[in-house]
Structure 1
Amino acid sequence: MGYGLTEHPLTYIREQRGWSQQDVAMLIADGRNMASWRQKVNRWEKRGVRPEDAAQYVLAKELGVPRRIVDKNPWPSWLLFVLMEERTADPWTADTAAQALAGTLGALDDRRGFLILTDASLAHIAEGWTDPSTLPPDEKVRQAVEGGRIDTELAATVERRLADLWVVDDYVGGAQSARLADTDLSMVVSMLRRGTYSLDVERRLYAVAGGLCRMAGWGSFDGGRPAAAERYWHAGLRASKHADDVDGGIYILSNWAMQRFYAGDGHEAIALLDAAKGSLGHVSETVHAMLETWRVRAHANLGEADEAAKALMRAEKHWEQRRPEDDPTWIYWMQRPSTTIEPNLAMLQLEQPQNVESNLREWIDLDGHQYPRDHALALTVVGTAQLALGELDTAIGTGREALSLLRSIDSGRVGDELKEFLDKLPDDRLAREFREEVESN
């Protein structure tokens, strides 16, 4: 995954507690009279080998995890209960939103290269977002300080900075834009902590904080830091709820669903999209089209070709009924669902590469200086489709175009897709030359 990330929960737990692999092996040996082989622990962490139940129970006892949690959550999922830092079951109040935002400061330094929230945690988050009883309190109930030093003009300034970040991300990729968003988030959190403002300005600041968390989370995901992304999105969803920013919360949930289906977790991706669809408030047809478009990929993860096709049909119908004047400003990038990248990645997952190139023709013909990250991803998807159709020379040429664009951006997500493309290439001279070209960059 790169970036020197810790890619297994047990590795992270060991690092936090100062344990070596031998320490873990000896711990299990003491508990159940088995040879203390460090190689066993290495295989659990590096090769994805599942420890036998007895060994898991001994380890869980040492870590303070109840046996029922181990039985209900297959390895290594139960280890996440040791690592849980996000207070996902807390009430959805202004105080917990502020605490969650403050807890994201420094999240970019989170070295965990794995998803950190359990299915139960995500369920709590989705329930909190859609629960009408957790809407922000009325001004009659809440005391607000009018005429404070943070006025509407300053609120408008930070809103413009957020909008500018969307464009920056299109050009430089997630890793760099995440750092910019994190810096601005620190500023907004300080304003909320120390400033005085009206209720209207407060809600605008929380909406910006939610948007910055969305942006920092997206950049973390795109840059290959999934744990940091989940920390940002949890806080951002709480901030959006307090701001009564329905569109902002939906955008966070949709990004979160995307990370889950990129990780191969179609079920949780669908649950997050369901939470977004169940949002209380007006949702534009274009946003509905986006949610159904992402659902196509989630169903493809599960091998559900018929459900994927139905979701794409619904997305196209929403697109046809859209009214651009109803759209939130952040969805400027959305286009006809069948011509977007994710449904075509879904077609590859479902072994249906025939129409991918024609669907993505607009991306193939795009000027390389416009949206270089998405252009590189689209070219990688098209190259994979060409390879599946037996067009090796053409596929390698398309892959080279994608590689040339990736040199100018920082996107671990697109880099991972290119690596998967490389893994599918046959072992011949052209493919070997291209692999060497990729490795040298």
Structure 2
Amino acid sequence: MNASVEPHPLTALIARRHWTATMFLTRVDACHRALGHGGIGTRKEKVCRWVAGTTPYITVQLAMAEVFGVDRREVHHRGWPDWLLLAFHDDRVVLESAWTPVGTVKALENLGGPVDRRGFLVASTGTLAAIVAQWATAPSSTSAPAAGRRVGRQVVELFDTRLDALRHLDDQVGSGQAYDAATAELRLIIRILAESAYTDDIGRRLYAAAAEASRLAGWCAYDAGHTAAAERHFVAALRAAASASDDTMAAIVLAFWANLRYARGDARGALGLLDGALSARGKITSPRVMAMLHARRARAHSKARESVAAFRAVDAALTAYDRAGPAADDLSGMYWVTAGELHQVAASSALTLKDPRRALAHFDAAFSHHDPYDPDREARGAAIYLARKSAAHLALGDIDAALESAHEVVGRMGGVDSARGSSTLDELRAELGKHQQARAVQEFLGLTA
């Protein structure tokens, strides 16, 4: 997958219709006149200003709504630029389908086709809250077709085995190849759900498999920089988890979705998703999932610059993990949640909160703990954490230690397809670029140019 993204919903909407900026403005100008507000002109610089952050006059927005076929009341209700998201009609199927098995299949089917390369969030914070509330009250039922070849436990177990392999494939080769494999697996599961006969128990397991396939596809899309595709997959995955009556699976989906939200600047929305997951804590069967939820809360609070809440969440994550038994007794998909992983998250949170000494203490604990972080399990994640460790050393003025970690980043990233990993290296190079007076820094920047 190409890591290029659309920077603004308006840019994507104009491109989808194969218009130039002038063609779009000509239509808006005509609607503006028809509404009795006069002309607005058609200089393409207007679109550039709107995309760059200038809010159009409300009358101009109302004219745009006419052009895009959006109810004008939504312009006032949602505000700029959130109301533009309603013009993406394929999103509305995923966001607004009924919370029933039929609605779940409909939402999953609308994820098909090439990867959606839009680089912006498709759900407003208000929409997030509504989705979490709908999940919490969704009816627990499966709905098998009246006719069709009956499938049983063996089919579900094969899906579980294949999904486990896909998770490890993503660890080793990155998101590009794994995304295509996950969406292919999802299409097969959807077909079984829509065309086969099965018992309620098998139905729930099939919906859970669909939730995991869509969750994995969402994670891969996020890793490749395709935010809209990722969010659509996470919404559909949450619907499938609801149809499976699987609150633990839903909590996993919400945790990964929260990661996307705080990474894209919406810490409050991320905390809303995590609060929703934790509201069902009595039904979550995995201590590692509970630890992951608290760890994601730590990152969200750190992004919101809430240090006390962040470190409380770190403590809660480590406490929850202390209750976990052997990994073999937990969910197969939680193999990566170790005490070392939690210390890496704690270190990342401390670094975001401008506390590099605490960050380095947690980075060290990630490897010195008796249940350490395994850098060989996932090259991409190891590289990202090493880049943050390098940044912590830089913050303390230790350029030699920073470069040592930076060279490890380059070694880990070789051959891994990950926009997140590449952007992390770019950010590290930018920080090192502030120290170009050091010859070793110059050499590193030349090596990684």
Q: TM-score, normalised by structure 2?
A: 0.88
For the Cα contact (< 8 Å) 2:317–2:342, is it kept in 1? no
| Equivalent of residue 139 in structure 2, options 112, 115, 134 | 134
For the Cα contact (< 8 Å) 2:82–2:124, is it kept in 1? yes
Aligned equivalent of 1:359: 362
Letter in 2 for 1:38: K
Query: Which secondary structure does the structure 2 equivalent of 1:181 belong to?
Result: helix
Aligned equivalent of 1:378: 385
Moved more, 179-188 or 85-94: 85-94
Residue 391 (structure 1) aligned with residue 398 (structure 2): yes
Aligned equivalent of 2:10: 10
For the Cα contact (< 8 Å) 2:356–2:395, is it kept in 1? yes
Report the Cα distance in structure 1 between the residues aligned to 2:359 and 2:376, rounded to whole angstroms: 22
For the Cα contact (< 8 Å) 1:285–1:318, is it kept in 2? yes
Letter in 2 for 1:120: G
| Equivalent of residue 344 in structure 1, options 333, 342, 347 | 347
**1:373 Cα shift?**
1.1
| Equivalent of residue 416 in structure 1, options 423, 436, 439 | 423
Query: Which secondary structure does the structure 2 equivalent of 1:355 belong to?
Result: helix
**1:331 Cα shift?**
1.2
| Equivalent of residue 287 in structure 1, options 281, 286, 289 | 289
**1:34 Cα shift?**
4.0
Report the Cα distance in structure 2 between the residues aligned to 1:25 and 1:344, rounded to whole angstroms: 48
Residue 405 (structure 1) aligned with residue 417 (structure 2): no
Aligned equivalent of 1:205: 206
**1:74 Cα shift?**
4.5
Cα–Cα, structure 1 residues 74 and 427, in superposed 2: closer, same or farther, change >3 Å?
Answer: farther
Query: Which secondary structure does the structure 2 equivalent of 1:113 belong to?
Result: coil
| Equivalent of residue 80 in structure 2, options 61, 65, 75 | 75
Cα–Cα, structure 1 residues 433 and 26, in superposed 2: closer, same or farther, change >3 Å?
Answer: farther
Report the Cα distance in structure 2 between the residues aligned to 1:281 and 1:206, rounded to whole angstroms: 18
For the Cα contact (< 8 Å) 1:319–1:336, is it kept in 2? yes
Cα–Cα, structure 1 residues 48 and 345, in superposed 2: closer, same or farther, change >3 Å?
Answer: farther
Cα–Cα, structure 1 residues 157 and 71, in superposed 2: closer, same or farther, change >3 Å?
Answer: same
Alignment RMSD, CA only? 2.7
Letter in 2 for 1:281: K
Query: Which secondary structure does the structure 1 equivalent of 2:245 belong to?
Result: coil
Question: Structure 1, residues 124-176: CA drift from partner, whole Å, max 9, x if none?
Answer: 22112211x51226xxxx77879944232222111111111121111111222
Report the Cα distance in structure 1 between the residues aligned to 2:58 and 2:41, rounded to whole angstroms: 16
Report the Cα distance in structure 1 between the residues aligned to 2:152 and 2:264, rounded to whole angstroms: 42
Report the Cα distance in structure 2 between the residues aligned to 1:50 and 1:386, rounded to whole angstroms: 41
Question: Structure 1, residues 296-351: CA drift from partner, whole Å, max 9, x if none?
Answer: 11111211111112211222222223344763221111122784433322212211
Report the Cα distance in structure 2 between the residues aligned to 1:215 and 1:321, rounded to whole angstroms: 26
**1:255 Cα shift?**
0.4
Query: Which secondary structure does the structure 1 equivalent of 2:135 belong to?
Result: helix
**1:102 Cα shift?**
1.1
Report the Cα distance in structure 1 between the residues aligned to 2:194 and 2:147, rounded to whole angstroms: 16
Q: Percent of aligned pairs with the same residue?
A: 30
Report the Cα distance in structure 1 between the residues aligned to 2:97 and 2:126, rounded to whole angstroms: 13
Query: Which secondary structure does the structure 2 equivalent of 1:176 belong to?
Result: helix
Query: Which secondary structure does the structure 2 equivalent of 1:134 belong to?
Result: coil
Cα–Cα, structure 1 residues 189 and 424, in superposed 2: closer, same or farther, change >3 Å?
Answer: same
Report the Cα distance in structure 2 between the residues aligned to 1:409 and 1:363, rounded to whole angstroms: 23
Report the Cα distance in structure 2 between the residues aligned to 1:395 and 1:121, rounded to whole angstroms: 42
Cα–Cα, structure 1 residues 126 and 402, in superposed 2: closer, same or farther, change >3 Å?
Answer: same
Q: Which runs of structure 2 are paired with 1:4-403 in the superposition (5 Å)?
A: 4-30=4-30, 31=32, 32-45=38-51, 47-84=52-89, 85-87=91-93, 88-106=95-113, 108-131=114-137, 134-136=139-141, 148-279=149-280, 281-324=283-326, 327-336=330-339, 339-361=342-364, 369-403=376-410
Moved more, 361-370 or 197-206: 361-370
Letter in 2 for 1:134: P
Query: Which secondary structure does the structure 2 equivalent of 1:258 belong to?
Result: helix
Question: Structure 1, residues 224-265: CA drift from partner, whole Å, max 9, x if none?
Answer: 111111111111111111112222111111100000011111
For the Cα contact (< 8 Å) 2:176–2:224, is it kept in 1? yes
Report the Cα distance in structure 2 between the residues aligned to 1:80 and 1:219, rounded to whole angstroms: 22
For the Cα contact (< 8 Å) 1:89–1:124, is it kept in 2? no
Query: Which secondary structure does the structure 2 equivalent of 1:254 belong to?
Result: helix
Residue 428 (structure 1) aligned with residue 429 (structure 2): no
Moved more, 57-66 or 172-181: 57-66
For the Cα contact (< 8 Å) 1:296–1:311, is it kept in 2? yes
Letter in 1 for 2:100: T
**1:199 Cα shift?**
2.6
**1:54 Cα shift?**
4.6
Letter in 2 for 1:175: G
Report the Cα distance in structure 2 between the residues aligned to 1:119 and 1:432, rounded to whole angstroms: 43
